[in-house]
Amino acid sequence: DVKVTQSSRYLVKRTGEKVFLECVQDMDHENMFWYRQDPGLGLRLIYFSYDVKMKEKGDIPEGYSVSREKKERFSLILESASTNQTSMYLCASSSPGYGYTFGSGTRLTVV
């Protein structure tokens, strides 16, 4: 089975901190995605990548950046965390033509 592993299940950070959320997949998938999920707003796409060193903005990229130096790893970076970035963050991967496999999520709280 494809596994998508997110480095932390729960994270608490202070306002203004630089935050790294790591995601690793083990099935050589080309595409990787970062979503955030908030009550009443559903899943919203932040960034995605379809190849190493490639990235595309999703629907809500402001305040975030990403890095994909290796095919299996896709990192989401909060340059200066703010309280409105408190959310559940979900990473997913896929091959073209196939569905997503999601990680278990990281629940980030910014205080």
Partner 1 sequence: DAKTTQPPSMDCAEGRAANLPCNHSTISGNEYVYWYRQIHSQGPQYIIHGLKNNETNEMASLIITEDRKSSTLILPHATLRDTAVYYCIVRIAYGQNFVFGPGTRLSVLP
Residues that bind partner 1 (CB under 8 A): 4, 31, 33, 35, 42-43, 45, 48, 50, 56, 58, 88, 90-92, 96-97, 99-105, 107
Residues 6+ apart with CB under 8 A from 48: 31, 32, 33, 34, 55, 56, 58
31 vs 87, beta carbon nearer partner 1: 31
* CB of residue 53 to partner 1, shortest distance in Å: 17
45 vs 77, beta carbon nearer partner 1: 45
17 vs 59, beta carbon nearer partner 1: 59
* CB of residue 87 to partner 1, shortest distance in Å: 13
Distance CA 33, CA 81 (A): 20
Place of tokens 């995601």: 23
Q: Name which of 9, 29, 45, 3 is nearest 97 in CA terms.
A: 29
* CB of residue 101 to partner 1, shortest distance in Å: 7
Please check whether residue 11 is in contact with residue 110, taking contact to mean a CB–CB distance below 8 angstroms.
no
